[in-house]
Structure 1
Amino acid sequence: MSVPIPFSDPPWLMGLPSPYFNKSHRKWQAAIRPFIKEHLLDHAIEWDKAEFVPEHVFADFGRANMIIPSLPAPLPVEWLKRLGIHELLGGLKVEHFDYLHALIYADEMARTGLMGPTGSLTTGTAFGIPPILKFGSRQLQEKILPDLLTSRKRCCIAVTEPDAGSDVAGITTTATKSACGKFYVVNGAKKWITNGIWCDYATMAVRTGPPGSGAAGLSMLVVPLKNHPGVRMRRLRVGGQPSAGTTFIELDEVRVPAENLLGEEGQGMRYAMTNFNHERLAVAVGVTRQARVALAAAFEYVLRREAFGKPLVEQPVVRHRLAKAGALLESQWAWAELFAFQMTRLSKDDADRELGGMTGLLKAQAGMVLRECADTAMLLFGGNGFTKSGQGELIEMIYREVPGARIPGGSEDVLLDLAVRQLVKLYKTKTKAIDARSKL
């Protein structure tokens, strides 16, 4: 039995007490770590270098019901039980899955240190299926959810365009109702779509309103992708996460059944926003684990690496860098734990209202923490950390993924501004409510 490297796991897994995690959470973590290690962690670097995760891996995770935990909590229990899925690994009943279980899952899946292999498996399900569960008609759900929830088919979220990223209201891809009313005809392009190249469907933000209608003209449509007439897809090569299947999608007169509309026309922005807490918490947890992997690797390296006649860890400047990065890391993790706990205690509506701004801040700060930890690891590894092979290769790979944590899912500056605007809005709303009550 070996002593764990400092910072290599969250405090609750290093033997320290926690107010959040109970026996169910500990049993869940113990059950999923060996599975993830065998089926993902042991091969992650190899697959990311190849820029491709073999198709059987998604199937392996699907058979073990290990894609399902990427969905928001609570899980769609009625649907899962209809499909014969009553328990997850370790005997966790689907109705008992909460956001602390979700946090543990996201953290364990990111122990690869690389978001590409993990993202190739979970991003589409985590972001693409929830709007269908919340707003899809019963007819649409019956048609596609059985295959999606059992991982026989795949779905992604397609919002970003060549000229519209964090500014979702600037989307120009159009969906026009056909004369017969049975179809939407979709034209446009989507860019930087994670998992898109492998997906059968995209939950897509489209413009059903006139040009210039902004957010009010947006709708959500489930668009068939693979082998569907008018759809062309190609892989995009990006600086980090190369195995996540980042895709450019072109849509030319694509006919989509009218029943694939989610909810009502013009409500697309609102529908997309209902999954933001889940999306950004999942990203923040994964990115924080990446920071942990980088910092723990650096700590282990300086314990054994010698320079100027003694181990690097005996140099005050080295200890200072570790301390500064470690303080940021553990502060960020404590916030993520608190955030997940709050989401287990708040209703969906209350969580959307109270945490909507702060989840953007949580995600943005995760990127800042990763930047500090990756930078620390790179400097402490020296030339080894700048080399695409050998003992520092993982550090070099993580370092390239820092922009992928700070830009997608709402870029850092946009989310920082959004957080404050949402807090101001919430403050004014509550102030008006108090004033109204005082006048009664």
Structure 2
Amino acid sequence: MKSPYFTIEHEVFRDGVRKFMEEEVAPNADQWERDRMVPREIWRRMGELGYLGIHHEEAWGGSEADFFYSVVFLEELQRSNMGGFSAAVSVQEYMATAHLAKAGSDGLKKAWLEPAIAGGKIGAIAISEPDVGSDVANLRTRAVRDGDHYVINGAKMFITNGFYADFAVVACRTNPDPEAGAAGISLILVDTTTPGFRARKLDKIGWHCSDTAEMSFEDVRVPVTNLIGLENQGFYYIMESFQLERLVAAVASVGGAQLCLDRTIDYIQNRKAFNRPVARFQTIRHEIAELATELEATRQLVYHTAWLYDQGEMAVRECSMAKLKATEVANHVIDRCLQCFGGYGYMEEYPIARAYRDARVGTIAGGTSAIMREIIAKIELDDTRYNSAYAATPTKKSGDEAPPAPKPASAETPAAAEQPIAQTQVATDPVTLNALFLALPDRFKEDRAGAWRSVIHFDIGGDGGGRFTLSVEDGTASVREGLHGEAKCIVETEADTFLDMESGKIAPEMAFMSGQLRVSNIPEMMTFMKAFHRG
């Protein structure tokens, strides 16, 4: 079928990947499923062929190809005849290495990303926890700063590649404040040979060749240079990377369903019942027509979403729709295809049986269908919009750079600000924007701010809005109406949103991720929140 998304070069690449899957991978499927693992040799072979760095930078061994090369690769991965193989490879290339590629230091990239692209090191992304599930903002694994190390304690659950991984990108709580929520999470790379790290392989109904593990961390000491990106920004990185993860799941689901449908058509054209091919029975013919139509419509949604992603769009709406539709459709298509095989479809020797088992987890992994529906509902009904977190993350050029250690609290009393509008809020003031800004200097915590100096412009729109300048210098905070001086950070939002954040109706981090709060400098804003936190 002609497509505006694929060139001749894409199709040549497809032929190569298909040959590799059919000749070097698929013949081993039964053995690898029994062994419950993907052998190291095939990872290295994929590295040699350039299949593990399709969208990564050339500097680290990647190809920097457009995303439709990845679409081709993910579709052809399904010819391995193992959903677990597809899952393991997808996690390695598009999830475990994603944060390293976008926010890791050059030192981390050299040590871990480069060998991962070459197939020499296997990676995992460790976010889910036993008692947390989809509530990423409230994960419990903690990383406490101890000199030049983080000490990690906690547990992770359902981690693909987690048992055989050489490294794991671990989401940890680094802010000791129990009220920090999503604003206290960081991403830290853990070498799985580090003392105190353990992994236990889990037994699944499908994806047998891929290792899925429960991880435990007991006083695991990790150098602070293994921090990926900015401290306490991990939640935002995760929320953004979910779009790629969900798009990858959608592409794989469509590719797997199409392969099953193709094989089913071949089967019913050759299988006879009542002295004629099964494909001649109208009931089956019409069902195949319905399945093909639904799958084609889903494919075009997925391709459009891939195009948006390739254009650099933060396509939360489309990625969520694609993941929801593709995984649900794949389950339906493969279920109906198995039915066409009759009793043979229930036999282990037929690939449709394995495909049936493997497809089921699609509506769970990477965000359940219920979560996808809620995200879409927020966008469609609440006019929610999402911002990019990586765009505000400076790239670190050295693996030796570390976040500064916490500064000791100061015993000095903050001095009075020069020419502020007011130093205290009158108790009888109504809860208005002006009243809240006038009270900011009284909430300033010098011991939390340390030597921080800043100028922040607040541009608050809507009814009751206004413009304000917050200045922090020499342990003193002051507020003036209007925008004055050169700002280190510009904050834009609506008056209702700002008041909702102040009253606790909406968390600032969620306002940011939903696009209701726009911030030009995330690290500066995080320091502001720390220095002016209530309580």
Q: Deviations over 1:172-208 (max 9, x none)?
A: 1111111xx2111111111111011111111111111
Q: Deviations over 1:254-302 (max 9, x none)?
A: 1111111112222111111232222111111111111112222221221
Q: CA distance change for structure 1 residues 171 and 428 in 2, over 3 Å: closer, same or farther?
A: closer
Q: CA distance change for structure 1 residues 423 and 224 in 2, over 3 Å: closer, same or farther?
A: farther
Deviation at 1:412, TM superposition (A): 1.0
Q: Aligned with 2:209: secondary structure? A: helix
Deviation at 1:403, TM superposition (A): 2.4
Aligned to 1:253: 219
Deviation at 1:212, TM superposition (A): 4.6
**Residue 284 of structure 1 contacts residue 363 of structure 1 at CA under 8 Å; is this kept in 2?**
yes
Deviation at 1:107, TM superposition (A): 0.6
2:28 is the alignment partner of 1:43: yes
State the AA in 2 paired with 1:383.
G
**Residue 78 of structure 2 contacts residue 252 of structure 2 at CA under 8 Å; is this kept in 1?**
yes
Aligned to 1:370: 330
**Residue 18 of structure 2 contacts residue 79 of structure 2 at CA under 8 Å; is this kept in 1?**
no
State the AA in 1 paired with 2:346.
F
Aligned to 1:7: none
**Residue 379 of structure 2 contacts residue 385 of structure 2 at CA under 8 Å; is this kept in 1?**
no
Aligned to 2:186: 219
**Residue 113 of structure 1 contacts residue 289 of structure 1 at CA under 8 Å; is this kept in 2?**
no
Which of 168, 185, 195 aligns to 2:151? It is 185
Q: TM-score, normalised by structure 1?
A: 0.83
Q: TM-score, normalised by structure 2?
A: 0.69
2:18 is the alignment partner of 1:52: no
Deviation at 1:109, TM superposition (A): 1.1
Aligned to 1:310: 276
Deviation at 1:362, TM superposition (A): 0.6
**Residue 82 of structure 2 contacts residue 209 of structure 2 at CA under 8 Å; is this kept in 1?**
no
Percent of counterpart pairs with the same letter? 29
Q: Deviations over 1:192-236 (max 9, x none)?
A: 1101111111111111123353211211111111x3200111111
2:204 is the alignment partner of 1:238: yes
Which of 400, 410, 414 aligns to 2:367? It is 410
CA distance in 2, matches of 1:275, 1:48: 29
Which of 121, 128, 137 aligns to 1:169? It is 137
State the AA in 1 paired with 2:84.
G
2:4 is the alignment partner of 1:19: yes
Aligned to 2:231: 265
Equivalent runs, 1:41-440 vs 2, <5 Å:
41-69=26-54, 73=55, 75-80=56-61, 94-95=63-64, 97-178=65-146, 181-209=147-175, 210-225=177-192, 227-344=193-310, 346-347=311-312, 351-352=313-314, 355-389=315-349, 393-424=350-381, 426=383
**Residue 207 of structure 2 contacts residue 358 of structure 2 at CA under 8 Å; is this kept in 1?**
yes
**Residue 149 of structure 2 contacts residue 222 of structure 2 at CA under 8 Å; is this kept in 1?**
yes
State the AA in 1 paired with 2:32.
W
Q: Aligned with 1:242: secondary structure? A: coil
**Largest Rg, 1 or 2:** 2
Deviation at 1:428, TM superposition (A): 7.3
Deviation at 1:429, TM superposition (A): 9.1
Q: Deviations over 1:407-436 (max 9, x none)?
A: 010111111211221344556799x99999
Deviation at 1:363, TM superposition (A): 0.9
Aligned to 2:17: 32
Where is the helix percentage greater, Structure 1 or Structure 2?
1
Q: Aligned with 1:66: secondary structure? A: coil
Q: Deviations over 1:35-81 (max 9, x none)?
A: 22222123224322432222211111122222212xxx4x312333x
Q: Deviations over 1:298-339 (max 9, x none)?
A: 212211222233221121111122122111111111222222
Q: CA distance change for structure 1 residues 252 and 330 in 2, over 3 Å: closer, same or farther?
A: same
CA distance in 2, matches of 1:306, 1:24: 40
Q: CA distance change for structure 1 residues 361 and 198 in 2, over 3 Å: closer, same or farther?
A: same
Q: CA distance change for structure 1 residues 339 and 433 in 2, over 3 Å: closer, same or farther?
A: farther
Q: Aligned with 1:223: secondary structure? A: strand
CA distance in 1, matches of 2:17, 2:47: 14
Q: Aligned with 1:244: secondary structure? A: coil
CA distance in 1, matches of 2:2, 2:260: 24
**Residue 249 of structure 2 contacts residue 327 of structure 2 at CA under 8 Å; is this kept in 1?**
no
Q: Aligned with 2:51: secondary structure? A: coil
Q: Aligned with 1:228: secondary structure? A: coil
CA distance in 1, matches of 2:105, 2:296: 43
Q: CA distance change for structure 1 residues 144 and 302 in 2, over 3 Å: closer, same or farther?
A: closer
State the AA in 2 paired with 1:340.
A
Q: Which moved more, 1:373-382 or 1:36-45?
A: 36-45
Q: Deviations over 1:103-160 (max 9, x none)?
A: 1111111223432122233412320111012112233334333322322222211101
- Which runs of no fewer than 5 residues in structure 2 stay unpaired? 388-459, 466-535
**Residue 279 of structure 2 contacts residue 285 of structure 2 at CA under 8 Å; is this kept in 1?**
yes
